Amino acid sequence: MCGLGSALFSEPHQDIHIGRFAKFLSEIEPDNISSAIIEHESSTGLTTKADMLRIAGYFQQVGFSGTPLTKTFAVLSAFYLCVEVRKEVMSSTSVLVAAPYFTDFEERFQGYLCGTGSRSALIPMEIVLREWQLYSKLISK
């Protein structure tokens, strides 16, 4: 399994990425949030260190006791929110898989979470399934 496959679907690798993302969130200063976490028009933003620590704690809890589904969803969320996590996984993944997978990833994931004009938002299980299907399609080429 390549870097992306391990990050998404291998529990030990998921734990590593979730832990790194939680650490990143706990260390970032709220004043630097816009440069460290991708902002979208619909984002209300996080304004205090307590907000960051609470979210970091949630990700740590998922890493410790989450199901494979919640861990995969947490890794996808980390890809969406943190460029550094995404870059790390991209660097260990074949360009033949990483380039098509991460092209328009932000828009695709945001569409899953918020819905689009033609479809409603998806539940986490549906999001994980769609990402598994895309990943499977890319590695079978």
**Residue pLDDT, tens place only, 4-29:** 999 999 999 999 989 988 888 888 77
Q: How would you class 3 by CB atoms within 10 Å of its CB: exposed for 0-12, middle for 13-18, buried for 19 or more?
A: middle
CB 14 within 8 A of CB 72: yes
The strand pairing partners of 82, in sequence order, are 37
Model pTM score: 0.83
**Residue pLDDT, tens place only, 42-100:** 455 556 788 788 888 999 999 999 999 999 999 999 998 888 889 999 999 999 999 99
What is the average per-residue pLDDT within 102-126?
A: 92
Would you list the domain boundaries of the chain? 3-139
Higher pLDDT, 141 or 61: 61
pLDDT at 92: 93
Q: Which residues, at least 6 apart from 86, have a Cβ–Cβ distance to it below 8 Å? A: 78, 79, 102, 105
